[in-house]
């Protein structure tokens, strides 16, 4: 989960989340930013330490490929990947999805990751956005628990007319650019909405005042 930037968007959509990261420094930044999700210092190569069926979904951004590295003599990339995928499969509820964005170094790494995911019980496959672009190309491992779902079409792979038939959650990636009907980030309304969500989660929040959301002068 790093510093929790993606978690902020998940919170704004009304979801609860738990983030895992191997870096204490990144989690410290997330705590300083007062993210709304719960944070856990953990190595996903050791497994997902939660009870069965606890989550409705999983999102990962540029993390899974690091499990292919052997940073210690005891590290076995195939075993670490299988441990991650098998415990993730258990922690997800039936019918849920996992979308893992990654940057594989080569085709062998990509095949290893996909094979361990399927071995753990997942169905699904790889979706590639803009496959002919060196800069915009992105890999998404889309996994399903239980009944196999329909994979979305990768962005930039078909004509404009056909792109309209892409799966809905594929197009969600563009929503940061054209959000409508939502409060502007850091505005007073946005801050009040965030504080209200934290209150519903049972967290301590400062009382609202006429100064909430006001910018301080440089000389303050």
Q: What is the DSSP annotation of 1-22?
A: -TTSHHHHHHHHTT---EEEES
Question: Shortest CA distance to 91 belongs to which of 118, 55, 117, 59?
Answer: 55
Is residue 51 predicted with pLDDT exceeding 90? yes
Q: How confident is the model at residue 180 (pLDDT cuts 50, 70, 90)?
A: low
Give the pLDDT band of residue 168 (cuts 50, 70, 90): very low
Whether 28 has a pLDDT exceeding 90, the answer reads yes
Instruction: State the pLDDT at residue 88.
Output: 97
Please state, in angstroms and rounded to a whole number, the distance separating the CA atoms of residues 73 and 65: 18
What pLDDT does residue 135 have?
86
Half-sphere CA count of 170, side-chain side, radius 13 A: 23
Cβ contact 129:136 at 8 Å: yes
State the chain's mean pLDDT as an integer: 84
Break the chain into its structural domains and give their ranges. 43-145
The pLDDT of residue 40 is 95
Query: What's the pLDDT at 158?
Result: 64
Cβ neighbours for 28, distance < 8 A, ≥ 6 positions apart: none
Q: Which position has the token pair 């940073």?
A: 71
Asked: is 43-145 a CATH 3.40.50.150 domain? The reply is yes
């Amino acid at each position: 989960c790093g510093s929790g930037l993606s978690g902020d968007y998940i919170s704004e959509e009304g979801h609860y989340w738990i983030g895992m990261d191997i870096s204490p420094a990144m989690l410290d930044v997330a705590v300083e930013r007062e993210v709304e999700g719960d944070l856990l210092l953990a190595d996903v190569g050791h497994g997902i330490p939660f009870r069965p069926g606890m989550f409705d979904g999983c999102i990962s951004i540029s993390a899974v490929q690091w499990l292919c590295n052997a940073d210690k003599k005891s590290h076995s990339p195939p075993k670490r990947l299988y441990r991650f995928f098998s415990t993730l499969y258990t922690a997800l509820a039936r019918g849920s999805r996992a979308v893992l964005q990654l940057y594989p170094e080569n085709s062998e790494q990509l095949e290893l990751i996909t094979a361990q995911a399927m071995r753990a019980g997942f169905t699904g496959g790889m979706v590639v956005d803009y496959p002919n672009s060196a800069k915009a190309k992105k890999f998404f491992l889309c996994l399903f628990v239980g009944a196999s779902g329909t994979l979305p079409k990768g962005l930039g792979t078909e004509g404009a007319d056909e792109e309209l038939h892409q799966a809905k959650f594929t197009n969600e990636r563009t929503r940061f650019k054209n959000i409508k009907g939502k409060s502007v980030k850091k505005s007073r309304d946005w801050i009040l909405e965030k504080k209200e969500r934290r209150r519903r989660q049972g967290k301590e929040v400062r009382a609202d005042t006429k100064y909430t959301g006001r910018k301080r002068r440089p000389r303050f």
